[in-house]
Structure 1
């Protein structure tokens, strides 16, 4: 199996699905990376290089650079989905979703419900998220709890190149609106990715590591942090299992509950701010359904309830670390 980057995996998924289905279109700011500047047709494929080559392959009718107005092009994409197209709209940074939250929350997410199930909205909204790139507090938030809270949206957070490709293909083929979130610090990570097409069903968590002493549930980039922590714990004789939910809506409750029942000690690692987060939601679920199986309190390792700092040393301290996960896990295993 070929080794490919997270970025390449996403690019392959976009190329494949646009070639397979002529109804798939893309729209967003700077998708072609400065097309038209100095005669360049496709400079570098968007700010993160994910959409490179799509303009040459599918032309300006299907790859559309838009004005800097998220409200306009997300609204247009939602309307296009209702008419039978399958749009992929890119919000450059998820932080900008506030500009178009009405179009997402009150329109796209509600169409199926408002029209009695007769309307389909096959819309994918891709966006980057997460800290670590020195981009400032307005470009680095982990806002997936907001979208997870909204009925009618499916929320996808891949952590590996393999999952990025399979989940994006599944998202494009889904008949409901999907928020597809890509951590900026994962684009250059590399892993095994098949050349052909494959899909990963929503609502099926991935068991990233087996273990018996403590369960670590980690979201997005935090899976890497959890894996580093698990290696450190292993050197201390502590066996850690790791589960990556992959999607927060739908959430694979069964896998989380089964592992919690078996292991009885849980650490949840979430880059989002702690209040009303996915970590607190999962913690409440496990406490409600598995209380008698718990051998220790559930521990949460999250970012602080504060904006992401710009100063590099403070930003690094803001992001949940492997050492913090080790400390939390050790405290409940040795309790």
Structure 2
């Protein structure tokens, strides 16, 4: 075991897979010599050479298109979009080609590839560096969508994603790359230093895709969340003094509905928290799923705490994020019903 940040854990996952499987390759913009804009791939090119870890032109559609061709021929590419906001030129390749390859070829071909991308805000990156597009991918049959919240999960989930026979969208919350942060209304970042690193095995292990984690057991209500918002929800629950159960979904597609169902049936109340905008966000799908399977167990309406339905506000991003205070208010509202 070693103490690792999420960045170090992701790098360790790629290191493990590059070492044990010659079919694995890593490429993208600046991931080679420079080691990636967030340094997730630092040192991998020096260790494995330019044929296994290499830079590409600024052409996201070509990056993903090449990866699809390689995956169809038996390789396992793990490619990086510098920011999730940059994935849109490659959206056609991901949704029309990668997601459909197994089915349109009648399983003659599969597409074992991973598209890694930093997601969400927290670095004052503005509108083109801070979006949370997970719902755009959970709508697409044939994809898996993963968002880790801890270094341990990040490494285990990434190894599982690289080993998966189908395409995986791997969204990495950049705000917790080096430890979780939340913000106050002045825009000041406040770290949870105790979470800046976690115990992570140095060798191979997997965290199964499609399995949620009960981050905090409780009996009063269920909070469904993922990524950075896991920590924000924990802070809100502590402040509210409510015995809430926090479910870290980890994988959005496929969704671990059984864990969700068991929790909501136990507590009878549910809140959904995510950073992305409210309308058509993944929270809407979660609420629909919970209503269908847990309706007769509910004691109150299911409520959402999300980003606002506005273009991403650069200067006011800490007000845009669901913070502990906003979540705490909704907790009290649900408990009063």
Normalising by the smaller structure, the TM-score range is over 0.9
The two structures have a TM-score, normalised by structure 1, of 0.94
Any conservation in 2 of the 1:233–1:240 contact (CA below 8 Å)? Answer: no
Query: 1 CA distance for matches of 2:177 and 2:227?
Result: 12
Any conservation in 2 of the 1:90–1:127 contact (CA below 8 Å)? Answer: yes
1:144 aligns with 2:134: yes
Any conservation in 2 of the 1:131–1:308 contact (CA below 8 Å)? Answer: no
Any conservation in 2 of the 1:78–1:121 contact (CA below 8 Å)? Answer: yes
- Structure 1 residues 68-107: aligned runs within 5 Å: 68-107=58-97
Report the RMSD for the aligned CA atoms in angstroms. Answer: 0.9
Deviation at 1:4, TM superposition (A): 1.2
2:115 to 113, 125, 129: 125
- Secondary structure in structure 1 of the residue aligned to 2:118: strand
Gap runs ≥5 in structure 2:
180-196
Query: 2 CA distance for matches of 1:83 and 1:10?
Result: 25
Paired position in structure 1 for 2:236? 229
Deviation at 1:310, TM superposition (A): 1.2
- Secondary structure in structure 2 of the residue aligned to 1:3: strand
2:224 to 199, 217, 230: 217
| 1:96-151 superposed Cα distances (whole Å, 9 cap, x missing partner) | 11111111010000000101122111100000110111111111000000000000
Give the ranges of 4+ consecutive aligned residues of structure 1 lying more than 6 Å apart after TM superposition. none
| 1:223-247 superposed Cα distances (whole Å, 9 cap, x missing partner) | 011111121122xxx2111001101
The two structures have a TM-score, normalised by structure 2, of 0.93
Gap runs ≥5 in structure 1:
33-41
Any conservation in 2 of the 1:30–1:65 contact (CA below 8 Å)? Answer: yes
Deviation at 1:331, TM superposition (A): 0.8
1:156 aligns with 2:146: yes
1:246 aligns with 2:250: yes
2:334 to 319, 332, 335: 332
